[in-house]
Every structure is written in structure tokens, then in C-alpha cells.
Amino acid sequence: MARLRLPEHHNAKPAPVIDPALRITHAEEFFGHAGADTRHGGNSAHYSGGSDHVQMPAFETFRSPEAYYATLAHELTPRTKHKSRLDRDFGRKRWGNEGYAREELVGELGAAFLCADLELTPESSTDHAAYIQSWLKVLKDDKRAIFAAAAHAQRAADFLHGFQPVIEEEPQDEGVAA
């Protein structure tokens, strides 16, 4: 997957932007159960298909906890394309081609779906502006591309939800007055 170049404040060992204590418990639990090899460090966020891992900058370097989790969701969505998972292939041959743009659109929609499911509201970012141009070409050339991307993104979100532990509800006795 492509390496999303993050703003300069993600480089090297900058002073923390956000307090690590601001992690969001239910998001940590959700992504912790996603079954991904997630590594932290560096200044780019990306899914590496060769080693099948997600690379993320340190939590503390993001503008907000929501920005971190939205980026993580964006990178976990392309991880689902692996042959051992959803086996999705748009024919990506190089960075920036049509297949790349289609997968990035799925990643962005998947992140939006997951953030909505987790009740996270990340602010919009200029980081996404670089992708919009490639999405526009795909959307212009294929009027159904948005529907296909949304369907793939929903399958990816459902796949990630499938790793979550089942919480069993206590049975209620019928006819018992309180």
C-alpha cells in the first residue's frame, strides 16, 4: 500500500503533540483485536503488503487521538485486501495509478465507516488533498466506482468487526416483576 506522507511534525522525535494518556479505550480495544501486526515509529503511515504489517507514527505525534485512530483505520482497511483475507485486487502496479486510487478510495471510505462505528469524529485534514485528484479521475471515468468502493469498504469494516469479542447479554426472566 502507499506510504501516506504525514506532516512535518511526524518526523524524528518531536515533542509530543498530544498526551499519550488521551488514548480512547474503546478504539484501542477495537484496533487491538483487529489481528494486525501494527508497528510504531517513523514519519509515514502505510500498509506494507510484503511484510503484512501496518506502520504508524507514534500516537503522540498526531494532532488528536481521533486523527490517530482515523489514520489507523485507513491503513487497516487496505490490509484486508490480502489473499488470506478478502482477496481484493484492483490491478495496482505502481504508486498513483488507477488501481492505487481505487484502493485508496476504499481505504478512506473504510476509515470513515469504522470511525462512525466507533463514534470518532476526526477533523478533516489537508493530508487527504493529494488523494482527491486521483479519486476524481477514477470517479469521472467510472460512474459506479463510488458504489463499488463503498461495498468493498463495508466488507473491510465488517471483516475487522469480525475480530471483536462477542459480548453475551444476560438473559432476562420473562414475567418476573421488579
Domain ranges of the chain: 4-161
Structural contact between residues 24 and 65, judged by C-beta atoms closer than 8 angstroms: yes
Residue 118 main-chain phi, psi, to 5 deg? -90, 5
Among 24-38, 124-138, 146-160, the range scoring the smallest mean pLDDT is: 124-138
**CA dihedral in degrees (27, 32, 33, 36; nearest 10)?**
120
> CA-to-CA distance for 129 and 177, rounded, in angstroms?
58
| pLDDT, tens only, 31-57 | 999 999 999 999 999 999 999 999 999
What local confidence, expressed as pLDDT, does residue 85 receive? 97
End-to-end Cα distance, the chain: 56
Structural contact between residues 30 and 38, judged by C-beta atoms closer than 8 angstroms: no
Q: What is the pTM of this model?
A: 0.82
> CA-to-CA distance for 150 and 118, rounded, in angstroms?
18
pLDDT band at 175 (very low <50, low <70, confident <90, very high): low
What local confidence, expressed as pLDDT, does residue 91 receive? 85
E strand or H helix at 116, and its extent? helix 98-117
| pLDDT, tens only, 55-106 | 999 999 999 999 999 999 999 999 999 999 999 999 866 667 888 899 999 9
Judged on CB neighbours under 10 Å (0-12, 13-18, 19+), 100 is buried
What local confidence, expressed as pLDDT, does residue 3 receive? 63
Structural contact between residues 130 and 139, judged by C-beta atoms closer than 8 angstroms: no
